[in-house]
Chains A and B, each alone.
Chain A
Amino acid sequence: MPKANVTFENIGITVSVPAGTRLIEISEKVGAGITYGCREGECGTCMMRIVSGMENMSERSVLEDKVLQENMAGRNNRLACQAQVLGGDIVVRPS
């Protein structure tokens, strides 16, 4: 199974995870300080920043795109509960 390496920059932990894992599944377990609310892509609470490796993330869904726009997100922001890692190296931190 393809793997991705997700580095949580603020706490100095890199986790090797299977492709398709949502960021929130990892961030919760490592205590990365990415907070969550509804966990369903509606509230925008889990918005976080992709420091590098956006090309290794899933595309924004229509729902994620709408919520990010409503929360005036920058192009490096994603919702941890929606964004899936596809492979390669990704560095993230709380927004």
Chain B
Amino acid sequence: MKTPGAIEIAPGTHWIGALDPGLREFDIILRTANGTTYNSYCVRGEFGVAVIDTVKASHADEFFSRLEEVVRYDEITTIVLNHLEPDHTGALPELMRRAPRARLYISAKAQMMLKALVKHDELAYTIVDTGDFVELGNRTLHFLNTPFLHWPDTQCTWLAQQGILFSGDVFGCHFCDARLFNDQAGDFRFSFEYYYAHIMRPFREHVLNALALIEPLPLRLLAPAHGPILRDAPKSYIQRYRQLAQPLLHNETGSDNKSLLVFYISSYGNTQHMAQAVRDGAESIPGVRVSLYDLQVGGDLPFVDLIEEADGLAFGSPTINGDAVKPVWDLLSSLAVIKVRDKLGASFGSYGWSGEAVNMIEDRLRGLKLRVPVKGVRARLIPTEAELASCHELGRQLARHLTGCVEHNIISMSELLAQEPPHA
């Protein structure tokens, strides 16, 4: 297939991006069977020219070659960065050097990243937010602040006169096809869904906020930063995002009840008994639906879908060689694709010699930004009646926190620190 030059997507508006058909793994976490594209765009107005996003540094030559087909560097007045991830800003320092007249337009959150990217202090940039715009002369770029899709600094840029939304990574996918437009490229539906599931899913609430801004636009063309340009039925991709932003497994407990999932894995049945006690304790509090799962038999994927909608999570693991066991870590390392922030977490487990697992799991839960309101329970080998009672109380207290039924507690820092188990 012939490598294209700059491609006009609307009068005076060109795609000037780069093709990366050989890419098979993106940012470690994503695979692609079709490579990807780094889409950059050039918008010509009566008295100004804007470049929207650049490309990965390794593909800068291709980008500059296409750019030079449609604009002189001294004509460029405006550079818009919809977000600052290196695959879209790799060519930025060189573009700024070649186009010294150009002013940068970024979101407020992007400032820190811009300074990290372009290592000098005297940067001429303008912070923009929803409602702000830049006039190019019969071409107006309006900014929509759409944070966390998928970086905190993300924005979209709306070219009102042509009905084009330059959407950054939103509505993008890793799929490389030199035919460029969705009505000409190969079947990229899988890539579109895969991209959403791995990049946008953790930010579902932000997706819904962004859709509220985007849906009313009289859209004629969606121009994302990766993958095909969506000119045929562009609104169908917006509708698909709204569908994808629904949870895969709805929380059935309803708004008045809370869902607590208790996961455990057990070598000799000890951690299992503790899990059952945690469950019994939690179930003693009205308004909490408790579910118990043995990780010995479960893969991580269905649990991830369940966890997405749960309110609380408890993990029971024995300690083996000073660590929690792999199935627990496998599940905990699979949660990056969903939002778990602000859920409640807890940990418990039986151990033989040192019992590090409970603390390590609690630290991981905090690292995932869950709240861990109740100190975990550890039991040496076979839990005693008192230790099972502590597990019961752990479940009860966790459920009380879930339902908001906690009495005001006053405690000293030394008492708080004393709750920490002694180091082995």
Give the interface residue-count category, chain A.
20 to 34
Give the Cβ gap from A92 to chain B, nearest Cβ, in Å. 14
A12 engages B342 (CB within 8 Å): no
Rounded to whole angstroms, the CA-CA distance of A20 and B410 in the bound complex is: 19
A6 CB to closest chain B CB (Å) equals 9
Q: How far is the CB of A83 from chain B (nearest CB, A)?
A: 16
B-facing mask of A63-94, CB < 8 A → 1, else 0? Answer: 00000001110000000000000000000000
24 A-B pairs within 8 Å (CB atoms) are namely A11-B406, A13-B409, A13-B410, A14-B408, A14-B409, A14-B410, A16-B410, A16-B411, A16-B412, A18-B413, A26-B416, A28-B366, A29-B420, A30-B373, A30-B411, A30-B416, A31-B372, A31-B374, A33-B371, A35-B369, A36-B366, A70-B108, A70-B109, A71-B109
A21–B109 CA distance with the chains assembled, in angstroms: 29
> Top 9 A-B pairs ranked by shortest CB distance?
A31-B373, A35-B369, A17-B413, A33-B371, A31-B372, A12-B408, A16-B412, A14-B410, A31-B371
Counting chain B residues whose Cβ lies within 8 A of the other chain, the interface size class is: 20 to 34
Tell yes or no: A32 within 8 A of B by CB: yes
Q: How far is the CA of A31 from the CA of B369 in the complex (A)?
A: 10
Question: Closest Cβ of chain B: how far from A8's Cβ, in Å?
Answer: 10
A32 touches B408 (CB 8 A): no
Determine if A26 and B413 form an interchain contact, defined as CB atoms under 8 angstroms apart. Answer: yes
Taken together as a complex, chains A and B put the C-alpha atoms of A40 and B109 apart, in Å, by: 18
Question: Shortest beta-carbon distance, A84 to chain B, in Å?
Answer: 13
**Docked complex Cα distance between A38 and B339 (Å):** 19
Chain B positions within 8 Å of A30 at CB level: 373, 411, 416
**Which chain B residues border A31 with CB–CB below 8 Å?**
344, 371-374
A15 to B413, CA, bound (A): 6
